[in-house]
Chains A and B, each alone.
Chain A
Amino acid sequence: MKPGADNRRAVDRIFLLRRSLAVSLFLSIPLSLFLFLSPASAARKLRVVTTLSDFASLAQTIGGDRVEATSLAKGYQDPHFVEPKPSFILRLHDADVLIVAGLELEIGYLPPLLDQARNDAIRPTGTGYLDASVGCEILEKPTGQVTRAMGDVHPYGNPHFWLDPNNGRIIARAIAAKLSALDPDGRAVYEKNLAAFEARLTEAEARWTKTLAPFAGAKIVTYHASWPNFAKYFHLDIVGYLEPKPGIPPTPQHKLEIINLMLQEKVPLILMEVYFDRKDPDFVASKTGAKVVMIPPSVGGVPEAKDYISLFDVDVNSIARALGGK
């Protein structure tokens, strides 16, 4: 070792010490500010963004005060045609959790939003991403070749699966698990809220089933194929659609076919979503004597459908009133 090396090392040590002191001082100011402000930060709610209002309702119910849940689509909006507004990019940028319907329901707007959100946690491979369809009963999975000649068909099955209370229960459990994984401190709260929700849902199911029991097997026509899960659960028989094919508006020829079908099958009810035009259903109803019931397929579709359970209250009661002739 060369003479003077120890001195140089000592000088280096002093320099390093000074530098680390300077760095600590430099860091300590924002750190102390952060600590000063940390009570607010620690109490920050988990930000949940969902594509559909139904998932936001469930997330808010399960998450309670620990969560702030909002949806991109409104309940009175066609969930297939949501515009990818840049304001959504901001919300996704700040989100801790993203809950989607999957099954390509959001394919027209979500991918470009996620690409610009600069938030890896909520991308499909991220820890904050939740595909609500996983584990749910999905109907109308096409078999055989799928082509666009079939209209705007979803190759992985019908994406309106949340309109089955059993699926609602599965989604609620998945949300509770996701929230618990991201916020372990809140696990007890989430589990308690989930149990309370499931109890309310079970009680409501008995009420809904009783209300619609007299109409089991009733034949109905719907505007779009939004209701297969709902119809299966409540034993309604969908015999036709006003849309000749998914996403294609009613044509004169198809309206004639539906009128003939409804007269032949004695169909008393046309069920339609709140975002479609009433003109065609009203025309068909005027030729067949059927009733048109416009109901929300999602929470917030009408003001009374405030949450997941009141959505079914509105839908079930509207159908029962129409079929019961009251």
Chain B
Amino acid sequence: MQIRTAALAALLGAVGLPSLAQTPQTGNVFNPNISAIGDFLAVAGHNAVDPLPSLSLHEAEVGLQAIVDPYARGDIFLTFGTEKGDVGVEEAYITFLNLPGDFLLKAGKLKGAFGKLNTEHLHVRLFADVPLPMKNLLGSEDGVDDAGLSLSHLIPAPAGIFLEATAQLFRGTSENLFQANTRNDVEPLFHLRGYGDLSESSNLEVGGSWTRGTNLQGPGFHTSLTGIDATFRWKPLQRGLYRSLLVRAELYLSEQGAPTGTVRATGIYALAQYQLGRRWFAGYRHDESDHADDASLHDRGDSLILTFWPSEFSQVRTQVRRNVYDLGAAGKSNATELIVQLQFSIGAHGAHSF
């Protein structure tokens, strides 16, 4: 096989065609930026429905990011968990930056542009756990995360308004949410994002998302997801090191096809985070969510969050969470837990979008 590859490379070289096998290397100059982020969780308290381990390496994310060539950049994020074999590709995509007509094309495995939470890596979220609507209606902490294509376009809008439309097409398989059985079970996703500065210190961002895929009930059964999100941010520029406020709400509507009919379930979370000082942030989050397969079951939860940043590269977070799980005829199950999260970042991790 090696001989065959070498022969093929020699052949391609002989006819002047480029091949990966003959890509020249110049020391470490062209190596990608390498970063790693560790996310360690310690959990105490009681949860009979959805218990987290007492101590866990929730995730170690390794990022490899670089310019590919004059036309594109590449980003690869690998994740590792506590268990043996707990390895995955969170995202790995190429972005074509120079397309005509203000288009931006991504191809590979990527997080779906469904609202805000679904697009965020775990380490940029403002809490240590997964909000109930994401878990109940988007399947898992990763939500829509699949192989596919993404095309986004800047839409002309009145001065100062940022308007971006994104159309994505996925294979149609995301953990606990969609399962493609054939090549035709692809999942389209559409997202519209609007942003405007209210003043130099405050701004408002709103978004709408829709997607539809074949669900876990089997071939012919689909789930449509609709999302609306709104984020208000305040950060006085001169005092921006010490004070800021973020208020966000995200609403999901899930319409899940099942043998017994369509289940319409809704979920919402609302979050506020206020910056107390240069390194201290306090937050509150409220969750409400039906179950995707039984809208008569309705979970709810509240969290108080305190975050401390020793430096830009590490973070300690404490979250007190009280969830009330609806077990139907069996009643309600209350869970009060303390989650402590330690995160640390090493290497050259690329900055994140707003």
Instruction: Judge if A109 is at the interface, Cβ distance under 8 Å.
Output: yes
Q: Which residues of A contact B164 (CB under 8 A)?
A: 86
Partner of B241, one of A78, A87, A148, A248: A78
Q: Which residues of A contact B98 (CB under 8 A)?
A: 120
Contacts A107-B351, A275-B238; is A125 near B162 (CB within 8 Å)?
Answer: no
Q: How many residues of B contact A (CB 8 A)?
A: 39
Partner of A125, one of B70, B99, B311: B70
Q: Which residues of B contact A84 (CB under 8 A)?
A: 351-354
Do A275 and B97 touch across chains, with their CB atoms under 8 A apart?
Answer: no
Q: How many residues of A contact B (CB 8 A)?
A: 35
Q: In this complex, which of A85, A86, A109, A120 has the most chain B Cβ atoms within 10 angstroms of its Cβ?
A: A86
B contacts with A: majority SS: loop
Per-position binary interface string of chain B over residues 209-237, scored 1 when its CB falls under 8 Å from any chain A CB and 0 otherwise: 00000000000000000000000010101
Q: Which residues of A contact B95 (CB under 8 A)?
A: 115
Per-position binary interface string of chain A over residues 247-259, scored 1 when its CB falls under 8 Å from any chain B CB and 0 otherwise: 1110000000000
Contacts A76-B237, A78-B241, A112-B352; is A85 near B197 (CB within 8 Å)?
Answer: yes
Instruction: Judge if A83 is at the interface, Cβ distance under 8 Å.
Output: yes
Give the CA-CA distance A84 to B313 in the complex, in Å.
Answer: 18
Instruction: Judge if A277 is at the interface, Cβ distance under 8 Å.
Output: yes
Give the CA-CA distance A81 to B242 in the complex, in Å.
Answer: 11
Give the CA-CA distance A249 to B164 in the complex, in Å.
Answer: 38
Q: List B residues 129-188 near A (Cβ within 8 Å).
A: 154, 160, 162, 164
List 22 A-B pairs, Cβ < 8 Å.
A74-B200, A74-B238, A77-B237, A84-B354, A86-B195, A86-B354, A87-B162, A87-B195, A90-B162, A93-B154, A107-B351, A112-B352, A112-B353, A115-B73, A118-B97, A148-B313, A151-B311, A152-B311, A152-B312, A247-B312, A275-B240, A277-B241
Residue numbers of B with Cβ under 8 A of A are: 70, 73, 95, 97-99, 102-104, 154, 160, 162, 164, 193, 195-197, 200, 203, 205, 233, 235, 237-242, 278-279, 311-313, 346, 350-354
Residue numbers of A with Cβ under 8 A of B are: 74, 76-78, 81, 83-87, 89-90, 93, 107-112, 115-116, 118, 120, 123, 125, 148, 151-152, 247-249, 274-277
